Amino acid sequence: AILILQKPTEERTSSDLAFLVKCTENVGFFKKYDEDTHVQCMSKMYHVHLKRGEHALNTVGLLLKFFFKEKKLIGEYGENFWVTLKGKVGIFIPKEVEVRGKNGISRKQKALTRIVGQGGGYAFGELALLERKPRAATIVCEDDCDFAVLDKAPFQQILRNL
């Protein structure tokens, strides 16, 4: 699947697309659509490889986030749908925790808390394609990971053509 997703979209054959559809047939997001729409989505998806510790987020922000090591991903608006092909990701949400300062005074603050880990086949970011809502979680690669990614603009074009 990775080799197919690395090909320019115009070079993908119908058998390439059929293979990608087969690889993603259990992804709940695609079950909402007919096979033709699923094939069209596969024709627009591309490969992203992230190293352990990197955050999955919109590709426009990748370079800035990784060079400046910003960790502020919850609350940002997503522009991509991600399907984990290989590797494991951790899902983190903000939780209020009690922190004791050097002066001994306790205060509450939000901290990212890992709620679960997911492996190949796990998909996230579908709301970014459908609605303009801020992220509810941060996804962090716990292994080196490979993803199939679909951007919002091509997906919306596919829906307009239905």
Measured distance CA(117)–CA(96) in Å, rounded: 20
Q: What is the largest CA-CA distance in the chain?
A: 66
Q: Where is pLDDT greater, at 62 or 136? A: 136
User: pLDDT (tens digit, 9 = 90+) per residue, 23-81?
Assistant: 999 999 999 999 999 999 999 999 999 999 887 753 333 333 333 333 445 567 778 89
Q: CA nearest 35: which of 50, 20, 55, 45?
A: 20
Residue with tokens 């596919």: 158
pLDDT band at 6 (very low <50, low <70, confident <90, very high): very high
Q: What pLDDT is attached to residue 71?
A: 41
Q: What pLDDT is attached to residue 104?
A: 87
User: pLDDT (tens digit, 9 = 90+) per residue, 83-111?
Assistant: 999 999 998 888 888 888 888 888 888 87
Measured distance CA(22)–CA(40) in Å, rounded: 13
Q: What pLDDT is attached to residue 160?
A: 92
Q: Where is pLDDT greater, at 139 or 75? A: 139
Q: What pLDDT is attached to residue 131?
A: 85
Task: Please state the pTM of the whole predicted model.
Answer: 0.81
Query: And the tokens for 145?
Result: 């990971």
Q: What pLDDT is attached to residue 57?
A: 53
SS3 81: strand
Q: What pLDDT is attached to residue 62?
A: 38
